[in-house]
Amino acid sequence: MKPGSRLKSAACSSEAVLIKHSAGTIECGGAPMSADASGDGTPAPGFDGGTVMGKRYVDEAGTIELLCVKPGKGSFALDGVALVLKEAKPLPASD
Amino acid sequence: MNIALLLEMAAQADPERVGLVCDGKRWTYGELDQAARGACELIRASGASHVALLDESSEAAVIALFGAALAGVPYCPLNYRLADADLGALLGRIAPALVVGDVERVRRLAGGDGHTTYVRSEFTLAALEAVSGEFAEHDSGEGIAIQLFTSGTTAAPKAAILAHSNLVSYILGTVEFASAEESEATLVSVPPYHIAGIAALASSIYAQRRIVLLPGFAPEDWLKLVDAEKVSNAFVVPTMLGRIIHALDKGIKADISSLRAIAYGGGKMPLELIHRALDLFPDSAFTNAYGLTETSSTIALLGPDEHRAAHRSSDPAVRARLGSVGIPLPTIELEIRDEDGRVLPAGQTGEIYVRGDQVSGQYRERSALDADGWFPTRDAGYLDEDGYLFLSGRADDVIVRGGENISPGEIEDLLLTHPAIADCAAVAVPSVEWGEAVGIAVVVRGGFDKPADDELQDMVRSRLRSSRVPECVRFVPSLPYNEMGKLLRREVKALLAS
């Protein structure tokens, strides 16, 4: 998967753009994401926390980073391990 | 990731919200996004290798920027203030381009270069009409988003390039998506061909903070626009802030109580002016931003709390921070190095090096990055014990007197404390004995007598060191600045050498 690729959830309306990815299956709502997934399914328990538009999601090791560009009811994971919100230190507007 | 996604997300989240105001016309995010998509079609149909803007700020800048991004063609805003010969050369370097703006000038200077031209109103109209019903495959954003020509004071202008990934890293790292209230508006008065002008568009759109454009800065218009649009944020260069305060002093009436945050950068802020501004706008949050074209804008910030703390403090070290550009962003690395590339400790002046995803350091012609990805900024400066970055001018502006490096800034800062000196510049002048020596150009404050040369020389000798004492003192009515408030040191040098 190349950075910039757009991925859709099979389990909800979530969409994400890949910022960084080295290996592993990218999932949402417990199901693999793909460029043309329908989004008709239902998120699996444990992967139904929801995604927030404009937030970035990463794994603990920093091997993957996703930008949520469309929110949904599922939550992102890499190989079954839930991704976490990337906390950004808010900065004052400078331009 | 393509920078056009920033606009697409804003349009998706709130298509009806007003994203831009220019000359009284309001554009929603939905309309801007539609127009950018149409512009992409126009650009593709033209076969252009670049998209150029030869115009003042307007909605066309946003449409051309994101339209070019969708088409996978670099956006290259040009400085319309350039002389014909210089502009003609740049137009030749980006041919064939789709040029928006001064069509007549393009025809006259580069009529045979195969450019496709549109005046502003034709371009926006054609873009809105060109939107295709079918979903067009857009560029994936792996290439160049922006190409900006540097001012080129010594040689032909360099073409600095920013990849989509540089700009996206900067925006995602510093701006929270849709974080602005609907009432917030940012007044953009810097020219569209400057990196600050481009970064302002991208960050405001991603934050969903309404952009209010002021093409052609005049302090009265700026104040009127703050009042009329209830502007909450503004970015200014120091010269603009000085003129705004001067207009207020003259009694220009405007309700500017909506103004909550003022960011500034692009040139050295006189200490006296920022103290004055902090007094005059006691409730406004001031932010000083330092950055370069090659770093996708801001790399260090002095924030609002630090401004107030320094302004109030009686501790000289804390107070001095008002003259710094703050702390480097957490998303980049920054080092000070000596001429041999060794990293210098706090307090020692050297060249500023930066590294990070937002740092391009690439020109069309070559890369300026070293083997480990560090970008030498050619700016000189030092970090204090607490990590605050102080600038001491361009590395090329350092005066080398008999092997000793002298930064013009320390001499200028001292001289500016003299009550009779309104402005001054220290530059290298040729010296038979030392190779280079210090020369100063001084502007006397209105109502004061011209100080004697030896009075100024004694002041420098007693407060700094004898090597800093100016050999040549020249009084001038004003110093040469460019439109961004940058002192044109080469012109001062030429003046003192003559």
Q: What is the CATH number of the domain that holds B358?
A: 2.30.38.10
Burial class for B369, CB neighbours closer than 10 Å (0-12, 13-18, 19+): middle
CATH number of the domain encompassing residue B487: 3.30.300.30
Q: Can you tell me the distance from the alpha carbon of B231 to that of B221, in angstroms, rounded to the nearest whole number?
A: 13
Of B8, B13, B301, the CB nearest to A91: B301
B62 and B189 fall within a common domain: yes
Model pLDDT for residues B211-252, shown as the tens digit of each residue: 999 998 999 999 999 999 999 999 999 989 999 999 999 999
Mean pLDDT (chain B) is 94
Closest CA to B198 of B360, B42, B24, B26: B360
CATH number of the domain encompassing residue B133: 3.40.50.12780
Q: Can you tell me the distance from the alpha carbon of B301 to that of B112, in angstroms, rounded to the nearest whole number?
A: 45
Task: Report the complex ipTM.
Answer: 0.93
Q: Which residue of A has its CA nearest to B2?
A: A4
B362 and B440 fall within a common domain: no
The share of chain B scoring above pLDDT 90, in percent, equals 83
Q: Please indicate if any CB of chain A lies within 8 Å of the CB of B176.
A: yes
B56 and B153 fall within a common domain: yes
B155 and B114 fall within a common domain: yes
Q: Please indicate if any CB of chain A lies within 8 Å of the CB of B12.
A: yes
* Cross-chain residue pair B175–A93, CB shorter than 8 Å: yes
B413 and B434 fall within a common domain: yes
Please give the DSSP secondary-structure letter assigned to residue B243.
H
B55 and B67 fall within a common domain: yes
Q: Please indicate if any CB of chain A lies within 8 Å of the CB of B401.
A: no
Q: Please indicate if any CB of chain B lies within 8 Å of the CB of A53.
A: yes
Q: Which residue of B has its CA nearest to A17?
A: B1
Q: Can you tell me the distance from the alpha carbon of A56 to that of A88, in angstroms, rounded to the nearest whole number?
A: 9
* Cross-chain residue pair B140–A19, CB shorter than 8 Å: no
Model pLDDT for residues B15-45, shown as the tens digit of each residue: 999 999 999 999 999 999 999 999 999 999 9
Q: Can you tell me the distance from the alpha carbon of B449 to that of B442, in angstroms, rounded to the nearest whole number?
A: 12
Both structure tokens of B276: 């004055």
Q: Can you tell me the distance from the alpha carbon of A76 to that of B217, in angstroms, rounded to the nearest whole number?
A: 47
Give the closest-approach CA distance of B263 to chain A in angstroms: 5
Query: Which residue, B160, B188, B216, sits at the end of a domain?
Result: B216
Q: A22-48 b/e with 16+ CB inside 10 Å = b?
A: eeeebbbbbbebeeebebebebeeebb
Q: Please indicate if any CB of chain A lies within 8 Å of the CB of B266.
A: no
Q: Which residue of B has its CA nearest to A53?
A: B177
Count of other CB atoms within 10 angstroms of residue B422: 17
Which residue range(s) make up the domain with B93? Answer: 4-216
Both structure tokens of B234: 């503004």
Within-domain flag for B79 = yes
Edge-to-edge order in the sheet of strand B333-337: B333-337, B350-355, B375-383, B389-394
B417 and B479 fall within a common domain: yes
Is residue B290 within a helix (H) or strand (E), and if so which, with residue range? Answer: strand B285-292
B328 and B349 fall within a common domain: yes
* Cross-chain residue pair A88–B176, CB shorter than 8 Å: yes
Mean pLDDT (chain A) is 93
Is residue A19 within a helix (H) or strand (E), and if so which, with residue range? Answer: strand A15-21
B83 and B197 fall within a common domain: yes
Q: Please indicate if any CB of chain B lies within 8 Å of the CB of A35.
A: no
pLDDT (mean) for B341-346: 95
Q: Are B44 and B235 in contact (CB under 8 A)?
A: no
- A contacts of B262 (beta carbons < 8 Å): none
Closest CA to B488 of B412, B394, B382: B394
Q: Are B322 and B192 in contact (CB under 8 A)?
A: no
* Cross-chain residue pair B141–A88, CB shorter than 8 Å: no
B380 and B446 fall within a common domain: no
Torsion of CA B446, B449, B455, B459, to 10 degrees: -30
B336 and B353 fall within a common domain: yes
Q: What confidence category does residue B155 fall into, taking pLDDT thresholds of 50, 70 and 90?
A: low
B305 and B454 fall within a common domain: no
